Chains A and B, each alone.
Chain A
């Protein structure tokens, strides 16, 4: 006696379909599915605190997109404790439990990320014609410019005034940078742009294996976004070395389950401690952060962002929350 049709279990854990007259077919959309949450692209929105702006480092909402202009060649380096770039940081820390039906678990603070039960993702989608960064012949089309999307974190509540730069202001994120000086629209070299991960402790871990949407020969699956993600059952408790496994890189936002340009399957360093409430490392209050800057001491370019999204989804863990 076999199954008369494939059986499956829906996302609520209940068996569905498979039986004669049982309805058959795949389950419909689940009420528990988690969607991306889009953040405003207007840098003047109160969601954002803009840091590093100056007359030659600007961010503005233009034709519905976030445009960042760092076209005057200068030192926009973002590295370790140095942050000479232009930054969008959420004014308030993330509250991972705020939308969870179970509320904040007993013994956990509202701002605390418990890696075991929290899926973290931050994504930035770039204008398909402009690419992740671009420019003019004079700046080699954004050569050595980069965008990082992830989180910056602090030991204490920043009371609505987050900062960037300085010793110990931990940060980590997915990164894309212009690795070659080629004009993208007439270059089909796959490592014109490289993507990967960049943190306070790791300058880069990156690969350049895919065309971006603004390059010559780019097809419908060309990459157009960077994404950072993290989730892990902790090997250690609430300690300074309780690292979570993370990854980051680029993908095509319209190619579901298409390959990601990620240099590693998983990555850890001192910046991937996603929860340390003792405050002995700056991994207690997390803010979503998008950094626009350079990998070199002298570079220039522009950015056009069409979407900034995140997902911070607490899941019922060992016990329901």
Chain B
């Protein structure tokens, strides 16, 4: 699975669009997940879908980060572990 970090001035609208199952014309299937905080939206999806989304992203949205195979929790450093658990508070 890939993760994509998006920055947008309208995160609520972006979340609503993701929740329709299609984003920028790309079908998100049933396994795609998303979360949001502040101006950022995270999408967790297959690598194939992440590549399609990177092709389709409008320039009104900043795709700041796209990693095809992010580290597992075990592989992550202590700071990433701390932020992951902070996000679960």
Contact = CB atoms under 8 A, between A and B. Distances in A.
B54 to A, nearest CB: 6
Nearest to B4: A203
Interface stretch (B12-20, B22-30, B32-40, B60-68): B60-68
Interface stretch (A131-139, A159-167, A204-212): A204-212
Size range of the chain B interface in the assembly:
10 to 19
Prevailing SS type, chain B contact patch? mixed
Given A201-B69, A202-B67, A269-B67, A191 B62 contact: yes
A179 B59 contact: yes
Q: Name which of A79, A179, A181, A202 has the most chain B CB atoms within 10 A of its CB.
A: A202
B67 A201 contact: yes
A263 B54 contact: no
Contacts of B55: 296-297
A263 B65 CA distance: 9
Given A180-B59, A201-B69, A241-B75, A295 B64 contact: no
Contacts of B63: 204
Contacts of A181: 59
A125 to B, nearest CB: 25
A197 to B, nearest CB: 10
B75 A203 contact: no
Given A180-B59, A296-B55, A204 B65 contact: yes
A58 interface: no
B68 A206 contact: no
A80 interface: yes
Interface in A177-226: 179-181, 191, 201-208
A206 B64 contact: yes
Contacts of A241: 75
Nearest to A298: B55
Nearest to B77: A268
A133 to B, nearest CB: 16
A173 interface: no
Interface string B37-76: 0000000000000110011000100111111110100010
Q: Which 3 A-B pairs have the closest CB atoms?
A: A203-B66, A202-B67, A205-B65
Interface of A: 79-80, 179-181, 191, 201-208, 241, 263, 268-270, 295-297
